[in-house]
Structure 1
């Protein structure tokens, strides 16, 4: 039997009246007074309560004498929203703190999240739920969180597909595309900070010899641990990929700059030869044919031939 929609003050009494029952209590942005009342009822440690009220805590697992404290992040990445090319604005993080006691899972949503998704996940394994307790509720929470992290990692990777060809095209990527690439790398860094500790958190909960997870559920925890590893590997792969794309674009930009510099130097050399010759014939000493028509033709031919020969040489070398 499942009982819902009763006051939080009734929870402890209902657990006493039903020795085999377990409970889930979800608090959305509770005040310090609200959480203090729950802490007094279930004997929650003050340090854990303090962490549950604070925002931007790192993902972690803390063990206390009568309960566990877990902090995790559900993630999403919406490539169709956000502010311009600021991909970090498209990353949505829902911080969830959880107190795990013998008979109750108490979650604290520090931001509004999709609670129905968590309930649906539990409802899909009613047979496993009937034979388990709080460890099943925590498994469902971990599974939903890790699946969201992997989905976010894949969404960022797919967003890179849209800019990869433009970044690897000839001439380098336009500045908006390049800035979008930098934004995606920042988004991956945000994801990595939330995903990297998850494998250790799940492993610590399900470690052999622990009292919370029974042998029936331990393989399921290992499956979640494997998914957390896959999510982290996907993010690491995407970080390597976007870094290599940005480096390739930077190299292309450098090659273009070198080519332009080389062409400018070549044209300067071509122009310098006639300048030197006219300076020699016009300013230093009278040249052969000075003040004669054939002398002018001779000097002009020398200018054209010398400049043309230098141009052909530089063209053959690929400088022009």
Structure 2
């Protein structure tokens, strides 16, 4: 599953050609190539590497999974590694899709390890910004990075919505302690994973916009600066959400402690009230004569004591908000 496109003077000229034809298309003046390789075989990857004289370390990085997001420079090309992300709203689980890219003056070669990377959405995104392709490879690279970083931003927004829902559960009248604890753990885990993906992108984009790199023309500089701003906002937002989830966990523990104190206070108050009739009936249950023994007056006196003291304790505890 290989996708190929050729642009001439900023206009889509041809697509769907084979890898063996790369050299022919690259020989055309004012032509730039975009090739997407899906889980390429070693032979396919080597064909592209031979055609574009790619560095062996870059080829190895593209073939190896779980690379750190990075941007490396070589003699005749650059290498980029990044991740698209998606959040499952039901489970709070974060899914990452790795993409590697070889960047040459006339070609952008992307390599996907599996089909989790939404290549069709990327194609639509590139078509929506087709007017930028007249600026060369930097425009295709911008389209790729803009698509990836927009996905990061949407995921952070989704996590923010999930945390707001978690806050509603936290202060609900009905206790949701197990749900809050489990959801907090899931969201914190996703935020940590997302931060590992987003944070290195700040360095990647910052390197791209440096003047000494000379990869981004002046016409594309504002677009890359906008990318950098989005990366900074996503990074800061992720850090603040991670702190917020930690605060929610601590608040939930505090609420549990307060709820336990209230329950303990109420149980103790009722135990004190119940202790009154227990003590009185225990006293009158002595196996020896006492005032009112074997008389109706003793029964009336004990009953009045039980009712009076119990009602008195109830009123005192209720007034002090112990019941």
Corresponding residue SS for 1:87: coil
CA distance in 2, matches of 1:163, 1:193: 23
Corresponding residue number in structure 1 for 2:92: 87
- Please state if 1:268 is matched with 2:278: no
Q: 1:192 offset after TM fit, Å?
A: 2.5
Query: CA offset at residue 203 of structure 1?
Result: 0.7
Q: CA deviation at 1:202?
A: 0.7
| Structure 1: gaps spanning 5 or more residues | 80-84
Partner deviation per Cα, 1:256-299 (whole Å, 9 max, x = no partner): 32222211111111222333344345449754344444344334
- Is residue 259 of structure 1 aligned with residue 270 of structure 2? no
The TM-score with structure 1 as length reference comes to: 0.84
State the secondary structure of the residue aligned to 2:208.
helix
Moved over 6 A (4+): none
2:301 aligned residue (298, 303, 307): 298
**Are 2:206 and 2:228, in contact at CA under 8 Å, matched by a contact in 1?**
yes
Residue equivalent to 2:28? 18
For the 8 Å contact 2:129–2:143, the answer to whether it is kept is no
User: 1:284, 1:232 → 2: CA distance?
Assistant: 79
Q: Give the counterpart of 1:190 among 188, 193, 196.
A: 193
Is the 1:171–1:252 Cα contact (8 Å) retained in structure 2? no
Contact 2:22 2:51 in 1 (8 A): no
Segment of structure 1 superposing worse, 66-75 or 229-238: 229-238
Moved more, 231-240 or 4-13: 231-240
Secondary structure in structure 1 of the residue aligned to 2:14: coil
> TM-score scaled by structure 2?
0.83
Does the CA-based 8 Å contact 2:19-2:47 persist in structure 1? no
What is residue 157 of structure 1 aligned with on the other side? 160
The two structures, once aligned, show a CA RMSD in angstroms of 2.8
Residues 1:305 and 1:119: Cα distance change in structure 2 (over 3 Å) = closer
Matches for 1:19-38 after TM superposition, within 5 Å: 19-38=29-48
Residues 72 and 198 in structure 1, CA contact (< 8 A), matched pair in contact too: yes
Q: How does 1:70-109 map to 2 (within 5 A)?
A: 70-79=80-89, 85-88=90-93, 91-109=94-112
Alpha-carbon distance in 2 for matches of 1:270, 1:63: 79
1:65-144 correspondence to structure 2 within 5 Å: 65-79=75-89, 85-88=90-93, 91-112=94-115, 113-130=117-134, 132-144=135-147
Distance (Å, rounded) in 1 between the aligned partners of 2:321 and 2:129? 69
Cα offsets for 1:52-90 (capped at 9, x unmatched): 1222222122233332221111223353xxxxx4220xx
- Partner Cα separation in structure 2 for residue 42 and residue 245 of structure 1: 52
Whether the aligned pair in 2 keeps the contact of 1:98 and 1:107 (CA below 8 Å) is yes
Which runs of no fewer than 5 residues in structure 2 stay unpaired?
A: 1-7
With over 3 angstroms needed to count, the CA separation of the structure-2 counterparts of 1:165 and 1:125, relative to structure 1, is closer
